[in-house]
Amino acid sequence: MRVVARKTLRDYWEAHPDAEQPLKAWFKYVRAARWTTPSQLKGQFRHASLLGHSRVVFNIAGNKYRLVVVVRYDLQRVYVRFLGTHQEYDQLDAERV
């Protein structure tokens, strides 16, 4: 999968150093993935939450941070839509970011 907006991840871990290694690990794993269905993604990330509008929520750093992405299985792309703390995540509508 191609991850669009890697700079967003890098900017975030520069401001939150404890997120750096978990985000780098997530990026490396997703970049190597070749998902064609949500069930394949869920099989590899069982704690990920599948939402409507092709959104997926990943728990980062032991659920301290939340990462919301849009997955385009047909294009093999993952678009970063939101990255923030669990509290910040609770304040948004993840299906609309």
User: Domain coordinates of the chain in residue numbers?
Assistant: 2-90
Protein fold of 2-90: YaeB-like fold (3.30.2310)
> pTM above the 0.75 mark?
yes
pLDDT digits (tens, 9 = 90+) for 7-40: 999 999 999 999 999 999 999 999 999 999 999 9
Nearest to 79 by CA among 47, 55, 52: 55
Q: What are 22's two structure tokens?
A: 């978990």
The total of other beta-carbon atoms located within 10 Å of residue 64's CB is 13
pLDDT digits (tens, 9 = 90+) for 61-83: 999 999 999 999 999 999 999 99
The amino acid sitting at 25 is: A
CA torsion sign for 1, 45, 55, 90 is: negative
CA torsion sign for 61, 24, 8, 16 is: positive
